[in-house]
Each structure stands twice: as C-alpha cells, then as structure tokens.
Amino acid sequence: MDGNTVKVPHLIVQRAVADGRSECVWLWLFGKKVDADNHGGHSAGWVEIAELKKAVMSVIKKDDLSDEMIGLASIIVPIGIRRIISDGDGLFWTVSRHDSPRLFLFGYARVANECGYGFYSHIDRINIPVTALFNGHKALADAVGK
C-alpha cells in the first residue's frame, strides 16, 4: 500500500458484494487502512471504533468526495456503524470491549474462510486507487470489477 493505492483481495470483495455484504467489506478494508496509517504503515490487526468513526468523518469533509460516499458516511456515522459492526462481527472482525471498544480485523484468509469463500491466495490481491476506498462501497465494487 502506498499513498495512492491500497491492496485489496478482489475475489473476497466481489463475493462480499454479491452476497450483500458490501458495507461490511468496505468498513473492513477502510479499518485496515486506518490501522496501517495509525501504526506506521504496518497493520497491528485492530482499530479503535472511535478512531474509525473519526477517520470516516475526516474523509467526508473533503470536497472531492462522491455524493454516494457522503450519503454512506451519513448512514454509517454515528448510528449505522453499530449495525455494520454487528453484521460483520465474526466474519470480518471481532469486537473487543475490555478497555476502549475496538475491532480486531481478521486477515484475508480468515475472512475468506469465515464467509465461506473457500481457499484464499495472496495472489488474489490487486492495487486499486485509495480514492475508490474513500468513495464508498459502490466505488470499491466498481474498482475490483464487481
């Protein structure tokens, strides 16, 4: 992942979109980006929910965002994120509440397994523009070719 692109598992994204899990896969990948940004470019595997909400809000304040992303963010923050977190719990992450609420973000192979997508290979990852991630779940689906 560099400043302009992010690696995404395109087959997982395609299957998640087809299964109606586009919001969850988007939040999972967005969370991984926030996690890497907060830990010097390396994913620690977790992100505090407050940090995730703050990152989503900072993205929607940018002038160059699509209307779809602004609409998505208005749903996700603050109320809708609870539903998405609940929907993705056990598939894309697990929720830890012991100190401050945070998500432990699963790796690609575990997500593929938990969602019933079969074997995952790291060869599956492709680079997409980071703007596709910031422009919401529909832009993400378009970037990986649905």
> Residue 11 pLDDT more than 90?
no
Rounded to the nearest integer, the mean pLDDT of the chain is 77
Helix (H, G, I), strand (E, B) or coil at 65: coil
Upper half-sphere CA count for residue 103 (Cβ side, 13 Å): 31
> Residue 76 pLDDT more than 60?
no
> Residue 132 pLDDT more than 50?
yes
Report CA torsion sign: 113, 10, 15, 57: positive
28-49: pLDDT as tens digits: 888 888 887 777 666 668 888 8
- Tokens 């395109």 map to which residue? 10
10 vs 131: CA distance, rounded Å: 16
* 3-state secondary structure string across 76-139: HHHHHHHHHHHHHECCCEEEECCCCCEEEECCHHHHHHHCCCCCCCHHHEEEEEHHHHHCCHHH
